Structures are given as C-alpha cells and as structure tokens.
C-alpha cells in the first residue's frame, strides 16, 4: 500500500466525502446557538485573512483545535485588532494556522475560528465573555480541524506522515479467500487496537482545553502523525479505511449520565494546562452541555466541577495512585472538596450507598456571565460521622496506613494525599505534618455493596481525610470548619474480618446516618 500525503488530491476527496455524508446525516438537526463573535474570513484564495465581526445569522466556518506550545503565536490584542481587521498575509501566520487556512479553503469553508486570533488575549472581560461561549463555537462549527500531531502552532499538521510497512498475508474463511494487509503497532496497543483512535500518543490529546473541543464538535478531522481520522458523533473513520470505531467515553451525546461526567473529569484531570486558573473554564463548555441535556429541570446546580443533587457521589474522588501529589495552586482556584483544587490525575469511586448527607452547598463564580467558569469561594454544609485514627503501621514504607478501631472492629486506611503529605501518628499521638502538628479526622462518605456476587462483601467505606480550618460562612458560624487533604478506602485488618466490617458499615453506621445522628460541619 502506497503512502499518500495529507495534501494529496485523493485524500482531500476522501475528507470531502466524509464531510458530505456527515452533513447529510445532520441536515435534519436544527442548528443551535450563535456563531462566534469573530471569525477569520479567508480571502484571495487563502493568501490573506481578515478578522470580521459576525451576526446572528448562520455562518459556515471551520474551527481549529491546536496546541499553543511554549512560544506564543500571533494573538489578537487591543494593539493588533486594527491590523487583523484590515487583513494579514497568511504567510505571516504560524504553520498550523497556514495549514488550517489552506485546508478550510480546499473543503469549501470561507471562515475559520482560531482562539488566539478571535478572542482578545489582553482583555479579561472579552476573554471571560468568549470563553463562556466555547460550547457554541464547537457545537456550531461545520468541522473542527484538530492539529493532533503538532506540539506547537509553528509545526503545522499537513506534513509528511509516518507510514506503516504493510505485509500481505493469505486469508481464507469458508469459501472466502484472498489476502489481508497487516502492519505492526506499538506494543501498548497490542490487544487493544482501538487505542489508535483515542490518539493518546498525540500532543493535542495531552492538553486540557482540547478535551471539550473534541467532545462538543459534531465533526472533527484529526491529523495524526500516521494518518487522518474523521470523528462524527461518537464514531471514528480512519484514513486506511478500517471499520468505524465507537468512542463513547469521549462523546456523552448518546447516553448522558452522571457517570459520563465522572469519566470525562478523569480524562480531563490527566491533561495539562498552561494557566493554573483555566482548570474550571477549560471544562466549562462541557459542564454547560450537561446542565442543559441531563440536569435541566432537576435543579442540578453546578458547583466547582460537581453537581448539587449528587454531591455525596461527586465528593468521592481521590488522586490516582500513579500520579504523584503536587503542591496546590498558588492562587485560590476551587474549594478543597473539588477535584479542581489539585493538579493531579484523579479517579472517581462508585458510591453505591451514602453514609453522609450534604445539607447545603454554595460556590461564588468570578463572573456571573459564566457560572461554569472560575470561582472565588465555595463551601458545603456536610453531616457526617467523624473517625479518629489511633496508631500507625510499624512496618517500613513511604505511606503507612492509619489504624482505626470502631466497636471492636479493626481496620486501616491507606491515604492518597491530595497535595501535602502528612505523617501518621503513633498510638495516642497527634497527627503530624512536615511543617507542624495537625489533627486529622476521617469522614466516611459511602460504600459499595457486592452482595449477590462471589465476594458477597462491601467495598469501603470511602473516606475523606480532613483537617480543622476556620471558615467565614456567616449563616453557619456556630459550625466547625474543615478542609479536605486526602481520601482513602477502609480495609479490614484480616480477610476473615470482612464480615465484621460489613456489619459495622452496612448495619450500625447506616442506622446512625438514617437516624440523623451525624456531626454537622462546614467543608471549605
């Protein structure tokens, strides 16, 4: 099989066929939302682009999803606004921008949206307004062009591709015979060939903003290092004509649930952001999508990455064991109970049965125009049991567990610290952190019951680790304040202690919760 460059006429024809069929499929669906406030108009057969202000009318445009890289590309600022309005030579733009202009013209799109050239980068009010409309930008684009292979805007994405060495292998099944073409794949793809369509090895897939751009776009062209992929409503079609592969984990459009949101958050938490403050804004458009399509009419308020009506479930996240703890951001970004307060990859745990009650919760957004963006503060009024550890494991290790004895049931919790690690106490001593003494307490949040399975036991309970902290919530000034510092899962001392822990958690603790005999605290 011959290697064909992305700019070859046959490849452009194939892309055009993909788009034509997808557009025909989508023709019955009404267009929603407005076009972006500004677009680049492609002029002189792609030799020049100028910035234009759009109206509310439907405009056919392409959108570029790309990595900025360490060197900032040309951007729209108050100083460059006039120059871009008059028009600039395409040859003066970074290579990825030039490639996007050329491709858009070849495919029949007269307009192009590029974030750095269509949003004022030195005007906070404009950036806040436009970043709140990212959902409209990508949902309404005719096609999103993903420069997946380029780690910066200077690299471009239409260059020569890495090509596979195909080997012909005879094939026969029943009366059907012929040959198949095989090629080698990376070792981490062996046994899971679908990984190639997730584009995990491409630079763009490591970037935080790119996740919602991929999820919200109806049609996306991914330009990878080895081939082009076309993604349409959760299915991916490849340049080498392999069968379409579903991508449910990236596209919540087919079955929207809370679990979809947690899956997306887990994907997102593993990605990188240039600016610490972008943690919530970079997922804000997807949050807006969920608010409208899943939580509409159910009073599901969005609170710094969680949802009011299932807050207990939302609180059950922990730093991924393979992701090292990092210091918290220098500036306030989210309350400690939100996954957005740390920069490590997180995992969400199945709650099953709650052991705590969220009585009230609140966040204050930086801008009322964007309730899905940055927040200034947040708190939860939580009713929960409070457990206190009594000892540490004497065996050597970097993270010895905390030991508990509740109603003669011994169990331990190995903590995954959100950020700063704490030392485990000896029996009767206070919990000590590297920079001072702190009393740590544990809040059982939930457990998962495996009754009916071969194990016939429980998993958990999953517990939050908290330290005392002052709060400024005036209406609850009489309640103690706490800050989250980690999380962990309770494990019985011995395998034959499982039944005792199960009776304690599914029996006594559940009775305490149902009777309302819980501590009333504020978590900030």
State pLDDT tens for residues 85-112. Answer: 999 999 999 999 999 999 999 999 999 9
Q: Which residue has the higher pLDDT, 445 or 294?
A: 445
pLDDT at 496 over 70: yes
Tokens found for residue 227: 């081939």
Q: Which residue has the higher pLDDT, 303 or 132?
A: 303
Geometric angle at alpha carbon 358, from 352 and 361, rounded to 5°: 130
Distance CA 102, CA 99 (A): 5
**Shortest CA distance to 484 belongs to which of 351, 346, 308, 373?**
346
> What's the mean pLDDT in 61-65?
97
Burial letters for 349-359: b for 16+ Cβ neighbours within 10 Å, e otherwise? bebbbbbbbbe
The position carrying tokens 């903003």 is: 209
Packing angle, helices 95-107 and 9-26, rounded to 10: 70
Query: How confident is the model at residue 70, as a pLDDT?
Result: 78
State pLDDT tens for residues 236-250. Answer: 998 887 766 666 555
Geometric angle at alpha carbon 133, from 58 and 218, rounded to 5°: 60
Distance CA 349, CA 336 (A): 17
The secondary structure of 180-216 as a DSSP string is: EEE----GGGTT-GGGGGGTTTSGGGGBHHHHHHHHH
Query: How confident is the model at residue 217, as a pLDDT?
Result: 94
Averaged confidence pLDDT in the chain: 87
Query: How confident is the model at residue 400, as a pLDDT?
Result: 77
pLDDT at 166 over 90: no
Query: How confident is the model at residue 296, as a pLDDT?
Result: 64
The position carrying tokens 């409070």 is: 386
**Shortest CA distance to 490 belongs to which of 426, 393, 404, 408?**
404
Query: How confident is the model at residue 179, as a pLDDT?
Result: 84
Query: How confident is the model at residue 423, as a pLDDT?
Result: 59
Query: How confident is the model at residue 435, as a pLDDT?
Result: 39
**Shortest CA distance to 341 belongs to which of 484, 127, 467, 207?**
484
> What's the mean pLDDT in 335-353?
93
State pLDDT tens for residues 366-384. Answer: 998 899 999 999 999 999 9
User: CB-hemisphere CA count at 13 Å for 168?
Assistant: 4
Which range scores top for mean pLDDT: 17-26, 193-202, 287-296, 487-496?
17-26
Query: How confident is the model at residue 142, as a pLDDT?
Result: 95
Burial (0-12, 13-18, 19+ Cβ within 10 Å), 243: exposed
SS3 403: strand
Range with the poorest average pLDDT among 21-25, 54-58, 155-159: 54-58
Query: How confident is the model at residue 449, as a pLDDT?
Result: 79
Range with the poorest average pLDDT among 147-151, 210-214, 310-314, 425-429: 425-429
Total length of the chain: 524
Contact partners, residue 304, CB within 8 Å, separation at least 6: 280, 334, 335, 338, 340, 363, 375, 378
Query: How confident is the model at residue 411, as a pLDDT?
Result: 93
Distance CA 304, CA 336 (A): 10
State pLDDT tens for residues 192-235. Answer: 666 677 888 899 999 999 999 999 999 999 999 988 999 998 88
Distance CA 416, CA 325 (A): 8
Query: How confident is the model at residue 497, as a pLDDT?
Result: 80
Distances in Å between the Cα of 264 and the Cα atoms of 198, 294, 295, 414 are: 13, 15, 16, 26
pLDDT at 6 over 50: yes
Rounded to a whole number of angstroms, the distance between the first and last alpha carbons of the chain is: 60
pLDDT at 434 over 50: no
Distance CA 245, CA 14 (A): 18
pLDDT at 453 over 60: no
Distances in Å between the Cα of 408 and the Cα atoms of 85, 312, 503 are: 75, 27, 12
Burial letters for 17-49: b for 16+ Cβ neighbours within 10 Å, e otherwise? ebbeebeeeeeeeeeeebbbbbbbbbeeebebb
Burial letters for 277-313: b for 16+ Cβ neighbours within 10 Å, e otherwise? ebbbbbbbbbbbbbbeebbeeeebbbbbbbbbebbbb
Distance CA 31, CA 58 (A): 8
Query: H/E element holding 97?
Result: helix 95-107
Q: Which residue has the higher pLDDT, 72 or 143?
A: 143
Query: How confident is the model at residue 456, as a pLDDT?
Result: 62
pLDDT at 121 over 80: yes
Range with the poorest average pLDDT among 289-298, 410-419, 472-481: 289-298
Burial (0-12, 13-18, 19+ Cβ within 10 Å), 103: buried
- For 108-173, give the secondary structure using H, E and C: CCCEEECHHHHCCCCCHHHHHHHHCCHHHHHHCCCEEEECCCCCCCCCCCCCCCCCCCCEEEEEEE
Query: How confident is the model at residue 293, as a pLDDT?
Result: 82
Query: How confident is the model at residue 180, as a pLDDT?
Result: 80
């Amino acid at each position: 099989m011959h290697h064909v460059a992305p700019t070859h006429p046959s490849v452009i024809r194939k892309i055009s066929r993909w788009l034509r069929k997808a557009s025909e499929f989508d023709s019955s669906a009404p267009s929603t939302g407005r076009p972006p406030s500004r677009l680049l108009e492609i002029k002189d057969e792609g030799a020049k682009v100028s910035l234009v202000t759009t109206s509310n009318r439907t405009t056919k445009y392409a959108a570029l999803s790309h990595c900025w890289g360490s060197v900032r590309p040309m951007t729209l600022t108050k100083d460059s606004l006039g120059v871009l309005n008059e028009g600039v030579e395409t040859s003066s733009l970074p290579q990825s921008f030039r490639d996007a202009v050329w491709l858009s013209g070849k495919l029949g799109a007269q307009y192009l949206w590029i974030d750095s050239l269509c949003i004022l980068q030195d005007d906070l009010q404009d950036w806040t307004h436009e970043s709140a409309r990212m959902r409209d930008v990508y949902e309404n684009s005719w096609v999103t062009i993903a420069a997946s292979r380029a780690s910066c805007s200077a690299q471009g994405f239409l260059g020569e591709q890495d090509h596979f060495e195909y080997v012909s292998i005879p094939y026969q099944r029943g009366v059907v015979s012929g040959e198949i073409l095989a090629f080698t794949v990376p070792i981490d793809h062996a046994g899971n060939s679908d990984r190639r369509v997730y584009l995990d090895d491409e630079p763009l897939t490591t970037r935080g903003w790119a996740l919602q751009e991929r999820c919200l776009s109806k049609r996306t062209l991914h330009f990878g290092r080895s081939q082009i992929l076309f993604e349409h409503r959760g299915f991916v079609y490849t340049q080498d004509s392999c069968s379409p592969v579903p991508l449910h984990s990236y596209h919540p459009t087919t079955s929207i649930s809370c679990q979809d949101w947690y899956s997306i958050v887990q994907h997102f938490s593993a990605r990188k952001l240039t600016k610490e403050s972008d943690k919530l804004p970079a997922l804000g458009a997807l949050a807006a999508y969920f608010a409208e399509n899943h939580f509409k009419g159910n009073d599901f308020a969005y609170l710094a990455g969680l949802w009011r009506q299932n807050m207990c479930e939302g609180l059950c996240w922990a730093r991924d064991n393979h992701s090292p703890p990092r210091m918290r951001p220098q500036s306030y970004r989210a309350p400690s109970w939100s996954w957005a307060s740390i920069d490590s990859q997180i995992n969400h745990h199945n709650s099953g049965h709650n052991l705590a009650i969220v009585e009230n919760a609140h966040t204050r957004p930086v801008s009322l125009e964007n309730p899905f963006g940055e927040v200034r503060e947040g708190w939860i009024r939580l009713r929960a049991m409070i457990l206190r550890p009594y000892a540490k494991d004497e065996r050597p290790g970097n993270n010895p567990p905390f030991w508990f004895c509740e109603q003669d049931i011994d169990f331990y919790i190995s903590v995954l610290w959100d950020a700063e690690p704490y030392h485990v106490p000896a029996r009767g001593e206070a919990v000590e952190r590297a920079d001072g003494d702190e009393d740590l307490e544990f809040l059982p949040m939930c457990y998962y019951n495996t009754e009916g399975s071969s194990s016939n036991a429980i998993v958990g309970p999953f517990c939050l680790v908290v330290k005392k902290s002052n709060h400024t919530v005036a209406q609850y000034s009489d309640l103690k304040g706490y800050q989250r510092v980690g999380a962990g899962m309770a494990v019985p001392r011995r395998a034959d202690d499982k039944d005792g822990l199960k009776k304690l958690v599914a029996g006594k603790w559940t009775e305490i919760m149902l009777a309302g005999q819980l501590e009333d605290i504020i978590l900030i």
